[in-house]
Structure 1
Amino acid sequence: MKMTLLYRPSSLLAVFAFLTFVSMNSPLHAQSIAVMVNGEPITTLDIEQRSRLIKISTHKSPSRQEVIDELIDEKVKVKEAKKYGVNPTSTDIDRAYANMGARMGMSPEQLTKSLGSQGIRPDTIKSRLKADLVWGSLVRGRFKESLLVSDRDVNEALKNSGEDQSKIEGVEYQMRPVVLIVPRGATASMVEARRNEANALRERVQSCAEIIRTVKVMRNATLRETITKTSTDLPPPLRDLLDKTAVGHLTPPEMTRQGVEMVAVCGKKVTSVDTPKKKEIREKMFADKYEKRSKSYLERIRKSAMIEYRESRP
């Protein structure tokens, strides 16, 4: 019993020394508050982590003040969004994180491992994702009307761009794919024979009705159902090919897995749908409006934010 009493102070001192050591070497002790934004802290660890993230994503080394300004902006954005009920859940943030990884060909776990290898915690990038999500929703929601881009605005911009009419007008195409089947393992001469057959068909037919009648009685030939697409739906190479092919005629034959394939152009008509050029201009005009509105809004709410620097500014 006496021995227990004698050793108790030493034991307590040992425990205290151990706890002090753990505390001194913990991440919490290694960081301090650099800036307070509306009562929310930005720590030296936040700054160090964000610096690393910016460096690997832009291949540039930002100044400390640039990093602090970015973090302040995010705190201000998140607080303003909360005021209007825009507050994504952790599930929303995790989904955005997973989507980011998917775009890079990685699972969330692989993305976390990749970031970790460069000394970056997943929470660092999730904080940025959260700010981007809430701010985008807030600006679009609050200023929806002023961000709209009218057809008149787009058409005016198109006129000033000097584009030709074919790029301004949208076109709806009615198509019927035609396949002259080539069996698997066919010889080169068999493939060439079918290709010659396709070219002969192209030269002979003058209407979709004639194409349909002819293909139906051809050996090992398939006529697929009508497909209707607009110019916006199609990749540029196919769109250009259809534009060069007259109605009632076939596009040049191409070899596919099924055989020798062509497309019968059965109809074209001008539509009010956005052409690729119109879509490009509309998106650019929206992006310009959004950028201006976002910038002025952020400047306004940042001026009214309570920002307290706890360390000397450079």
Structure 2
Amino acid sequence: MTTTLRVHRLLLIALGTALLLTGGAAPSRAQTVVVMVNGEPITDFDIEQRSKLDALSGLKSQSRQDVINELIDEKVKIKEGKKYGVEPGVSDIDQSYSGMAQRMRITTDQLTKSLEVKGIRPETLKNRMRAEMVWTSLVRGRFKEQLQVGERDVAAAVQAQNGEKLQIEGFEYKMQPIVLIVPHGSSQAATEARKKEAELYRSRITSCDEANSLFRSTPNAAIRESVTKTTADLPEALRKVLDDTQVGHLTPPEITKQGIEMVVLCARNSTMIDTPKRREVREKMYGEKYEKTSKRYLAEIRKAAMIEYR
């Protein structure tokens, strides 16, 4: 998990707690310029606001200079983004802000309220979001080749950890979910009748084409669009059911909240799939490369920046 994602997760938790409180927006106040970065000011109010946001995000206690450095970094990131045409618009930032609210299962107004309770302006969070969006796009775009993780390196890392094979043979399943609708509150007898109906369909269906033709015209029944999953994507119990089902046939009916559900297996093909360990190692290696590249890039552009303390 990258530092940005970790900060966002902590912030979500903290803001959820803040919703239980009441209060108003932070009052306006005079602003004193503390440092100029490429001609743009960072004020004491900016520092105060970011300190509050960092505390709310659950970051370890930072000194005033740490917070100033954080703000300086963001200024140089934004300028570097403009150099390469990476400039998120207002709608992009608002969408990111709204997305955070959705992950918290609250409205954007409630998110704003929870910030104001802590004396933080929404713009303080949005400014940090803007810098993160710009920087992620820059690093991934400019250093795409350097960030690639070689499969041989992944294989070696996995082998070194626990001797697990790089790949294992599995299956790729193409299937379509089917539901025979049972209205809410129906009797047990009605449910059992629909289940018997499902068993009858199982004895008749021998292909996906037949299933589509039948269930698209059957009252109170639905067949959904096909989905493709690999062995690694499915729980063991479902894999066993699919492995025991002939291609073109239906899986045994199950009673769910929707009604009687089945799956028509359209194809089952052998494939070489990732093991969960391989995916974990690849993601970790990418994250390490990203962090290293990001720090080096930031050091370069910060060295070239005009930073003047007042």
Q: TM-score, with normalisation over the residues of structure 2?
A: 0.70
Partner SS for 1:135: helix
The amino acid of 1:78's aligned partner reads: I
Measured after TM superposition, the shift of residue 226 of structure 1 is: 7.9
Which residue does the alignment assign to 1:230?
229
1:305–1:232: structure 2 CA closer, same or farther, 3 Å change rule?
A: farther
1:266–1:223: structure 2 CA closer, same or farther, 3 Å change rule?
A: farther
- Would the aligned equivalents of 1:169 and 1:275 in 2 still touch at CA under 8 Å? no
Which residue does the alignment assign to 1:11?
none
Indicate which of 18, 26, 29 corresponds to 1:27.
29
User: Which structure 1 residue ranges, 5 or more long, are not aligned?
Assistant: 1-24
- Would the aligned equivalents of 1:232 and 1:274 in 2 still touch at CA under 8 Å? no
User: Who wins on radius of gyration, i.e. which is larger?
Assistant: 1
1:157–1:229: structure 2 CA closer, same or farther, 3 Å change rule?
A: farther
Q: Equivalent residues in 2 for 1:200-279 (5 A)?
A: 208=206, 224=223, 227-231=226-230, 234=233, 236-237=234-235, 240-245=237-242, 246-248=244-246, 251=251, 253-265=253-265, 267-271=267-271, 278-279=278-279
Q: TM-score, with normalisation over the residues of structure 1?
A: 0.70
Measured after TM superposition, the shift of residue 54 of structure 1 is: 0.8
Larger displacement relative to structure 2 (219-228 or 293-302): 219-228
- Would the aligned equivalents of 1:157 and 1:281 in 2 still touch at CA under 8 Å? yes
Which residue does the alignment assign to 1:15?
none
Q: Equivalent residues in 2 for 1:17-166 (5 A)?
A: 27-28=29-30, 31-58=31-58, 60-162=60-162
Which residue does the alignment assign to 2:173?
173
Q: Deviations over 1:75-119 (max 9, x none)?
A: 121222222232233333333223323332344333223212221
**CA–CA distance in structure 2, aligned partners of residues 120 and 135 of structure 1:** 23
Partner SS for 1:27: coil
Query: How many corresponding residue pairs?
Result: 278
- Would the aligned equivalents of 1:174 and 1:228 in 2 still touch at CA under 8 Å? yes
User: Which structure 2 residue ranges, 5 or more long, are not aligned?
Assistant: 1-26
**CA–CA distance in structure 2, aligned partners of residues 226 and 32 of structure 1:** 60
Q: Deviations over 1:38-86 (max 9, x none)?
A: 3322111111000111111216543212211211211121222222232
Measured after TM superposition, the shift of residue 302 of structure 1 is: 2.2
Measured after TM superposition, the shift of residue 252 of structure 1 is: 5.1
1:257–1:195: structure 2 CA closer, same or farther, 3 Å change rule?
A: same
- Would the aligned equivalents of 2:172 and 2:231 in 1 still touch at CA under 8 Å? no
Larger displacement relative to structure 2 (172-181 or 52-61): 172-181
1:76–1:134: structure 2 CA closer, same or farther, 3 Å change rule?
A: same
Q: Percent identity?
A: 52
Measured after TM superposition, the shift of residue 27 of structure 1 is: 2.1
The amino acid of 2:29's aligned partner reads: P
- Would the aligned equivalents of 1:250 and 1:262 in 2 still touch at CA under 8 Å? yes
1:289 matched to 2:289? The reply is yes
**CA–CA distance in structure 1, aligned partners of residues 38 and 136 of structure 2:** 21
